[in-house]
């Protein structure tokens, strides 16, 4: 699935695809999706509310890491 930059991925914390992309680019290397998921959570607080967006956040990270 492809997400638009302004698409809200985490509704509880109002985190968009662009927010996730910015957080990913703060790292020089991207070792793996699960590690990056934890970092994205720390930087954006996404998937720390109801958790319903967990899979969407992982999909977004995977999409961005794949290029």
What was the pLDDT predicted at 14? 96
- Listed as ranges, residues in the chain with pLDDT below 50 are none
Across the chain, where does the E strand assignment appear? 8-10, 15-16
CATH at 55: 1.10.10.1100
What was the pLDDT predicted at 36? 85
CA 12, CA 50: separation in Å to the nearest integer? 7
What was the pLDDT predicted at 45? 94
What was the pLDDT predicted at 32? 75
Domain interval for residue 50: 8-66
DSSP string covering 39-57, please?
A: HHHHHH-TTSSS-TTHHHH
- The number of folded domains in the chain is 1
CA 50, CA 32: separation in Å to the nearest integer? 24
What was the pLDDT predicted at 25? 78
Instruction: Give a yes or no: residue 44 inside a domain.
Output: yes
What was the pLDDT predicted at 30? 56
């Amino acid at each position: 699935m492809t997400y638009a930059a302004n698409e809200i991925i985490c509704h509880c914390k109002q985190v968009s695809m662009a927010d996730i992309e910015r957080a990913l680019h703060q790292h020089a290397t991207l070792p793996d999706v699960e590690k990056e998921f934890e970092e994205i959570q720390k930087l954006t607080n996404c998937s720390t509310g109801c958790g319903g967006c967990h899979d969407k956040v992982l999909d977004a990270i995977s999409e961005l890491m794949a290029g």
